[in-house]
Amino acid sequence: MKRLVTGVAALLLLASGGVAAAQEIRIATEGAYPPFNFTQPDGKVAGLEVDLANALCERMKRPCTVVAQEWDGIIPGLLAKKYDAIMATMNITPERAKAIGFSTPYMVVPAYFVVPATSAIDGSPASLRGRTIGAQVSTTHSRYVEKHLGSDATLKTYDTASNLLADLKAGRLDAAITTGATASAWVKGDGGKSVKLVGQPVIDAEVFGPGIGVGLRKEDTSLKQSFDEAIRAVVQDGTLARIAARYVDFSITP
């Protein structure tokens, strides 16, 4: 009998270990959108959202792994169950909400226009008409240009923020639109010699939504609840603000 009990206990231990392993959360980020997410020389992803993802998993008491996924395939990858969540500076929009669910917002980041340092463009719609404007593909930034400038400007889209910046610096664009933190990083990167940030924060609630959230499959309601509770916790205890301060010089708190 003792051997039987011991054997059952061992099976239960293995089973519980299997359950624990199954509880790991795989989180996808782009790995190409500094300072929020980027890929280090050793191939590992890092950045504000990676640090935040680890903090959220700590609150949920769940092991997690952050993986890189190209932006244009990030929602299809979630729906195909390649991972469980997305943390990639993804604004919560009605269009995206048709396909996936979202957590409560974990940060709000305004967008800005960036132009060559010698440009006379001031960020106003009038100064952007007739110009070639760059934005990352399938983003709220490209949607903003389409909505507000339409045929009055030429929109060019890019797979990554780094390629967008490269074309702006090379003179193939008159302006680019991106998040304020990315824009600031671009300007600081070369001391403002080649590019500058112009105008006021770009605001449109219809385009940008209430903020940036964790992308989830709609059926994963329990995981959404866990993320919502963890986000509230890191906001309330100041963890989010401390993480953000490592990367940006303004508040991102929702």
Residue 6's pLDDT is 42
Do 186 and 162 lie in one domain? The reply is: yes
- Tell me, yes or no, whether 233 lies in a domain: yes
- Tell me, yes or no, whether 42 lies in a domain: yes
Residue 33 belongs to domain spanning? 24-108+210-245
**What's the length of the chain?**
254
How far is the C-alpha of 70 from the C-alpha of 105, rounded, in Å?
A: 22
Residue 3's pLDDT is 42
Residue 4's pLDDT is 38
Do 62 and 39 lie in one domain? The reply is: yes
Do 177 and 236 lie in one domain? The reply is: no
Do 129 and 200 lie in one domain? The reply is: yes
Do 120 and 235 lie in one domain? The reply is: no
Do 69 and 142 lie in one domain? The reply is: no
- Tell me, yes or no, whether 101 lies in a domain: yes
- Tell me, yes or no, whether 197 lies in a domain: yes
Do 204 and 214 lie in one domain? The reply is: no
Give me the average pLDDT of each 10-residue run along the chain (254 residues).
42 42 86 94 97 98 97 97 98 95 95 96 96 96 96 97 96 96 88 91 90 98 98 97 91 87
Asked if residue 186 lies in contact with residue 112, where contact means CB atoms within 8 angstroms, the answer is: no
Domain tally for the chain?
Answer: 2
| DSSP secondary structure of 26-70 | EEEE-SEETTTEEE-TTS-EESHHHHHHHHHHHHHT--EEEEE--
- Tell me, yes or no, whether 17 lies in a domain: no
Residue 89: CATH number of its domain: 3.40.190.10
- Tell me, yes or no, whether 3 lies in a domain: no
